[in-house]
């Protein structure tokens, strides 16, 4: 925990979007887009979600690729741990990295809670998303909870352009 706090003080910022509500990935993508707009080198890593839904590539992947933003998906690595190790090898080549569903991978036992400490050693800012919070995550600079108040899913299926 002390290592994480020391790294954060040195300039690395660790941000987390957690909770049961819709919008964690969207918030992370918004920050990534903002950083990219400022000329920063960014990478989006989709650690648990499939890049395709209903036979079509999901909208955020299409958009990121059209903009020329680096994207990696679980399909390319086979497991969140293999993806995470590969990202760590190139992390210093980026200014901001989105690790979408990182928290969910920890919850499922596919990554270790202490893996968040490995992110803090890099110079890149990291954005973590997922509905799970664990002790090590509380050392992050920012944790925003996205809380579900109401959702249309019980009445209808996912909406193209809004959900995928």
- Per-position pLDDT tens, the chain of length 164: 565 445 444 568 999 999 999 999 999 999 999 999 999 999 999 999 888 888 888 999 999 999 999 999 999 999 999 999 999 999 999 999 999 999 999 999 999 999 998 987 788 999 999 999 999 999 899 999 999 888 887 777 777 777 76
Tell me which residue of 156, 106, 162 sits closest to 136, measured CA to CA. 106
> Which option is the CATH number for 2-145: 3.90.170.10, 3.30.450.20, 3.50.50.60, 3.40.50.300?
3.40.50.300
Report the relative pairing of strands 42-46 and 70-73 from DSSP bridges: parallel
Query: Taking the C-alpha atoms of 100, 8, 112 and 57 in order, what is their torsion angle to the nearest 10 degrees?
Result: 10
H-only helix segments in 115-157: 115-120
DSSP 142: E
């Amino acid at each position: 925990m002390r290592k994480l706090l020391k790294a954060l003080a040195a300039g690395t910022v660790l941000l987390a979007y957690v909770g049961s509500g819709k919008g964690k990935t969207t918030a992370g993508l918004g920050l990534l887009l903002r950083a990219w707009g400022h000329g920063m080198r960014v990478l989006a890593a989709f650690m648990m979600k499939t890049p395709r839904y209903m036979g079509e590539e999901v909208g955020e992947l299409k958009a990121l690729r059209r903009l020329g933003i680096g994207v990696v998906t679980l399909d390319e690595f086979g497991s969140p741990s293999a993806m995470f190790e590969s990202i760590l090898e190139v992390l210093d080549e980026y200014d901001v990295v989105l690790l979408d569903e990182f928290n969910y991978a920890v919850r499922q036992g596919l990554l270790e809670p202490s893996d968040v400490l490995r992110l803090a050693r890099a110079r890149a800012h990291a954005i973590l998303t997922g509905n799970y919070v664990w002790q090590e995550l509380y050392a992050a600079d920012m944790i925003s909870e996205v809380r579900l108040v109401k959702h249309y899913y019980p009445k209808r299926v996912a909406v193209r352009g809004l959900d995928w």
